[in-house]
Amino acid sequence: MLYTTMNSPRGELLLVGDETAIRGLHFPGDRFALAQRYRSAREPFATARAQLDQYFAGERTRFDLPIDLEGPAFHRRVWEALLTIPYGETRSYGQIAAQIGDPSAARAVGYANGRNPIAIVVPCHRVIGADGSLTGYGGGLECKRTLLDLEAGVLSLTA
């Protein structure tokens, strides 16, 4: 497994993957310890880095990257549902639960959302509380607000 880091307007990001797919995108914090198990390499991540830079510049609304979502089947269903949330829009945990065919699983959706291994690309930041409130986010609520504001066109970020 390989990794690289990149600067972003929200701090240094950790990208994990191999020559075929992105398997992780993490904000600063405990998950950076993961990199100690991997080998540093920049080249396999060139496209991902470029697309993330374009996203933060407000020039990209969809990612076109090979990703590999590893996790329990329920989590993968949630993460696949997150990929259907359009840029600039949000969904509630209950809406995602209904979308995957389990309307009573809003809490379980929240749990799976919090374990999304590929932040930003798999847009877990687009999931909010039923009342419109911002709820937990691996990068912190300020980061979640920043990403949502960027996508709403009310904020411009530069790396």
Average pLDDT, whole number, for the chain? 90
Just list the catalytic residues. Answer: 124
Whole-number pLDDT of residue 157:
59
Q: Is the pLDDT of residue 80 over 50?
A: yes
In our burial notation (b when 16+ CB lie closer than 10 A, e otherwise), range 53-77 reads: bebbeeeeeebebebebeeeeebeb
Domains and CATH numbers, the chain: 2-56 (no CATH), 73-152 (1.10.10.10)
Instruction: Assign 138 a pLDDT band (cuts: 50, 70, 90).
Output: confident
Residue 146 structure tokens: 């920043």
- Could you read off the pLDDT of 106-128 as tens digits, one per residue? 999 999 999 999 999 999 999 99
Fill in the amino acid letter for 79.
Answer: W
**What's the predicted TM-score (pTM) here?**
0.91
